[in-house]
Structure formats: C-alpha cells, structure tokens
Amino acid sequence: MYAVIKTGGKQYRVAAGEKIKVEQIAADVGQEIVLDQVLAVGNGAELKIGTPLVSGASVKATVVAQGKHDKVRIFKLRRRKHYIKHQGHRQQFTELQIVAIAG
C-alpha cells in the first residue's frame, strides 16, 4: 500500500516503513505526527484519487531526525562590471519514518 502526500509545498510517494526527508516540521525527535493531506492512495492495481484530497485518509509518521542538507554554494558574476557575490545556503529538513497508511 502506498500514498501520495503533500507537505512543505511538495508531493511525496510513500509506503509503510520508508524514510523520507521533507521540509522542516515543528516537531520533536521521536514524536508521532499525522499527515492528513493525502492526494492519492494505492493498493496494488486499485488507486483512489482525491479531489483534491482523499477523504478520511491519513499517514502516520515518526520524526527520526531534524537537520540541515549539504551547503549549496551560490556564485554571481557580472563580467566587466566588478561585481562578484558569494553566498551559501543550507536548507533545514525533517526526516520521517512512515509507520502506517490509513484510508
């Protein structure tokens, strides 16, 4: 059984037992959360698609870790204008362990 969920402005295809990294969620490590924005639920050849959400469907997940991704380096240069800009960014994430899919 799998589900397509929406969190942090992105969509993820998840199944029970998987680990995924999503945009940061305000939750403590070890806390169980419920993701209720489920766009589709599939079981073998059967697929239930929501309009836009599947009613009564939810995904339970446990927060495994909070952290930061690797640094992305930004370099801007305008030739012949004496303009150089260096910048870096580390996006924060929450790692989730999918426990169960209901619906």
Condensed to tens digits (0 to 9), the pLDDT of residues 25-63 reads 999 999 999 999 999 999 989 999 999 999 999 999 999
The side-by-side arrangement of strands in the sheet containing 46-49 is: 10-15, 2-7, 38-43, 46-49
pLDDT, average across residues 81-94: 98
Question: Residue ranges per domain, the chain?
Answer: 2-102
> Would the pLDDT of 84 be above 90?
yes
The answer on pLDDT for 103 being more than 90 is: no
37: left (phi over 0), alpha (psi -120 to 50) or beta: beta
Q: Could you give phi then psi for residue 89, rounded to 5 degrees? A: -150, 135
Residues 6+ apart with CB under 8 A from 26: none
